[in-house]
Structure 1
């Protein structure tokens, strides 16, 4: 009897709280539910901070009505921007100097990794819905000859980098470890954990992999009411990739970074098969500039390419979405080099100091939430019937990972080579753009370039390919990241020789087998 009374009083208290917040509709069908359904709904409602939801909604609505069009959009200033791209028209001395900078950054990055001061945070909350898969995106197989998933490619890059960095460690030092923190979402969490277990964590030590869930927010009607997915369940959605900042605070990640003595993290998105995980060049570059928040970009190819660009808006660093840039501004050219004025395309690839991640709560209240209008399946509050809408019926509220840029005290941007570092997987097979076929082609063409740069040739492939489309469709060459992270360590085997395809290189021994005079 006491238990029931306490439960009843809990229900009444919560009901009052939601009613006072103008969200009493969540209890509309409570009395119709069975005991288990009531308990599950109560658990869900207790986890939601309803006042915070209302406050985020108000902020998002205000932000959506404020026009940014009057704010001055300017390119990045030279003091925060560097590029690893070398222009063949530059004087040789200038090219040499740039190459030396890159070497210095790489050496610094590897020495920091060797001191166990660098970790990796992976944003892996997305499902492969657009790819026609219900599994987490990281489990996706882009049809490489080896059949490796995106998760496996990234795990093997970490393994190889730990090995390379070991050469920079002091003789008495323990093993080099790059901890991997993997941010999942509600739907992807358990399948991701299960996938890693099923594959024995891809050869990495389980102790150095942490899975943590990003937060969620209730879906709302256009006028800010919490949507019920069914009579006993609130419709919820992940809070966007910017949810990473609250998640690292709330899920003990920052605590673990500090316990391990990690000073710097590399943070990237799971859907890029070319991601240079814990890239020593990027880490070294950012640390050499005392960066607290850094971003990698690629050069925007044409004025109408639909990408966000990193720039200054209203005097602060940030990302301006493609839709927010006028045609005139997107076509504007730099008088010095003739390139696009706004050219730093955002690829969701970041560097953070642990101190910066720790500081985010100080300005978290100022971060924007963005409205994403969606078709949200829901129960009609007046009739109790399930509605599967054919047009946008509500909104999801999201924050973006780049929303923190204006709060950085030492911001840095490094431009990298698109063909070596960026091939996003967004669209269904057969689309022809950012799809499994383009990802696979881009990775295979990179491995061919690795062989060519090491002084070898690949049978049937033109030397010095500049574009992935030059590769014959039947050319299947895959070099495991176990063997080479970025093309290093191949020349002693392939220099002056021919690599015969098809070939999947999992060990140096495999490489020797397929290499002929």
Structure 2
């Protein structure tokens, strides 16, 4: 651990001597914690970090209008326009790679749920599904299912290791949550948690913010901190030992994410790419999402603030937006590409500015909760490695099928627990009716069609466990000609009970318990 003298000299050189302003008032334990925190910071690069943050926050947003190009058609795959045979071929390729233990998933779960209004990791959040499942449990069960599907097809016994990048804020509660839930049935050795670095938040004049007298205000270095974290925690070595060649990388907050999606993986492998991105069509020209495109021939994500309105509104001959490929933080990487980024490019990643309200102590030691933004948190983004790819591809998917993020507390306009829950329940209702089931609403009235279920409205509570169906497959044998009330949870036990009812009858089911069983009248 750093000595006081060494810390003082380094802070003085960086123009941050005020960090030790309250040292005489600190107890022994507080002093040790502060020195430990300082020893984990890149003190040599601290001046550049602080000055760079202030300069970046003051700079006007760049405009790339004249240099923007859409991704060329030969680099794009799509579940919307791909024919059935092509999609089946990609799925088979993906399942083959999974069956050979070549695929891992990498979850980005280091951010704080500040906007959501909770003091614990987002992955632990229960959006109010009938089952009460958390985001972590839903994703774990999708890993179970995709392993099972590949094993059944190829006669294998495969493993999809789950790498979870956490932060100082999320590591301990995430570890505890997984242990308390027996890793949701996954083998603990196949769930690898590791921590990303933290960096100081600074004021608009480039000074480190003190959260308390003995602690700097720290923040994760963004999901682009992944590449440094892979090195710090020897994760790439673990992947190599397991024989993992392909990684599906995604953010924790998307309730509809298809974890280790065989179709996406198969598409990327068949194209021989080292880096790929799933995208959804922008809902409207000014939607505040980054756009995957090219800038002077180089693939990258351009922030919506960098695209002038007249460019965002450009349309092609079919009326489609020219720059429509909305980034959803859902990516494919080869392990070899991640290794190359870690060795050559991680220090070249662009720094992004996030202006935040950061609680602090003033020069007199008084605790202050700001009412307006007062600090700068610098972040790197996972997608900023796209320009380093040799064979970058884009995979377009349907928003309603694969993207519904959880970012804000209820009461916000979008991306809330309610919209996430309704998106999943709407999807499951659609699967059930497509499989031949008739669903009844709370009043006993039959839903006329999947179109009567909308993610934007209150959805009938018909929930399908990922252990039963990964993406709507295999439901016809269970649900065809069934009439089922809602709320209803179709879990493994309930599915077996329904299949035992031959021939199908009107299922006079009164209600479901939280665990997914049903009560017969």
Instruction: Check whether TM > 0.5.
Output: yes
Inter-partner Cα distance in structure 1 for 2:255 and 2:365: 45
Contact 1:109 1:283 in 2 (8 A): yes
Who is 2:322 aligned against?
341
How far 1:312 sits from its partner (Å)? Answer: 1.1
String of CA shifts for 1:405-453, please: whole Å, max 9, x gaps: 1111111110001111011111212435211111111111111221233
Inter-partner Cα distance in structure 1 for 2:497 and 2:113: 33
Contact 1:505 1:511 in 2 (8 A): no
Contact 1:105 1:283 in 2 (8 A): yes
How far 1:197 sits from its partner (Å)? Answer: 1.0
Q: Which aligned pairs between 1:88-127 and structure 2 lie closer than 5 A? A: 98-127=83-112
Who is 2:274 aligned against?
292
String of CA shifts for 1:312-371, please: whole Å, max 9, x gaps: 123311111222211111111012x22001110111101110011111130122211112
Q: Which aligned pairs between 1:77-96 and structure 2 lie closer than 5 A? A: 77-86=72-81
Q: Which aligned pairs between 1:194-343 and structure 2 lie closer than 5 A? A: 194-335=176-317, 337-343=318-324
Residues 111 and 85 of structure 1: is their aligned pair in 2 closer, same or farther, counting only changes over 3 Å? Answer: same
String of CA shifts for 1:482-508, please: whole Å, max 9, x gaps: 001011111122234433333111112
Residues 30 and 380 of structure 1: is their aligned pair in 2 closer, same or farther, counting only changes over 3 Å? Answer: same
Q: Which aligned pairs between 1:384-463 and structure 2 lie closer than 5 A? A: 384-459=365-440, 460-463=446-449
Contact 1:56 1:369 in 2 (8 A): no
Contact 1:432 1:438 in 2 (8 A): no
Contact 2:224 2:381 in 1 (8 A): yes
For residue 127 of structure 1, give the secondary structure of its aligned residue in structure 2: coil
Contact 2:3 2:35 in 1 (8 A): no
Matched, 1:11 2:26: no
Contact 1:293 1:351 in 2 (8 A): yes
Inter-partner Cα distance in structure 1 for 2:284 and 2:456: 21
Who is 1:90 aligned against?
none
- For 2:62, which of 65, 68, 86 is the aligned residue? 68
Inter-partner Cα distance in structure 2 for 1:257 and 1:120: 11
Contact 2:14 2:46 in 1 (8 A): no
Who is 2:517 aligned against?
none
Contact 1:53 1:217 in 2 (8 A): no
Inter-partner Cα distance in structure 2 for 1:510 and 1:131: 38
Residues 404 and 466 of structure 1: is their aligned pair in 2 closer, same or farther, counting only changes over 3 Å? Answer: farther
For residue 131 of structure 2, give the secondary structure of its aligned residue in structure 1: coil
Inter-partner Cα distance in structure 1 for 2:477 and 2:260: 26
Who is 1:36 aligned against?
29
Residues 227 and 472 of structure 1: is their aligned pair in 2 closer, same or farther, counting only changes over 3 Å? Answer: closer
Contact 1:227 1:378 in 2 (8 A): yes
Inter-partner Cα distance in structure 1 for 2:43 and 2:456: 56
Stretch moving more, 480-489 or 67-76:
67-76
- For 2:351, which of 369, 375, 385 is the aligned residue? 369
For residue 159 of structure 1, give the secondary structure of its aligned residue in structure 2: helix
Matched, 1:509 2:496: yes
Say what the alpha-carbon RMSD is for the aligned residues: 2.2
For residue 468 of structure 1, give the secondary structure of its aligned residue in structure 2: coil
Contact 2:419 2:456 in 1 (8 A): no
When the two structures are superposed, what TM-score results if normalisation uses the length of structure 1?
0.90
List structure 1 runs of 4+ shifted beyond 6 angstroms.
Answer: none
Residues 393 and 56 of structure 1: is their aligned pair in 2 closer, same or farther, counting only changes over 3 Å? Answer: same
Inter-partner Cα distance in structure 2 for 1:29 and 1:35: 13
How far 1:135 sits from its partner (Å)? Answer: 1.7
For residue 478 of structure 1, give the secondary structure of its aligned residue in structure 2: strand
How far 1:11 sits from its partner (Å)? Answer: 2.1
How far 1:188 sits from its partner (Å)? Answer: 1.4
Gaps of 5+ in 2: 441-445, 507-521
Inter-partner Cα distance in structure 2 for 1:442 and 1:301: 16
Inter-partner Cα distance in structure 2 for 1:472 and 1:249: 45
Inter-partner Cα distance in structure 2 for 1:388 and 1:131: 18
How far 1:455 sits from its partner (Å)? Answer: 3.3
Inter-partner Cα distance in structure 1 for 2:240 and 2:18: 43
How far 1:60 sits from its partner (Å)? Answer: 4.9
String of CA shifts for 1:72-128, please: whole Å, max 9, x gaps: 112111122121103xxxxxxxx6xx2111110000000100001101111112333
Who is 1:183 aligned against?
165
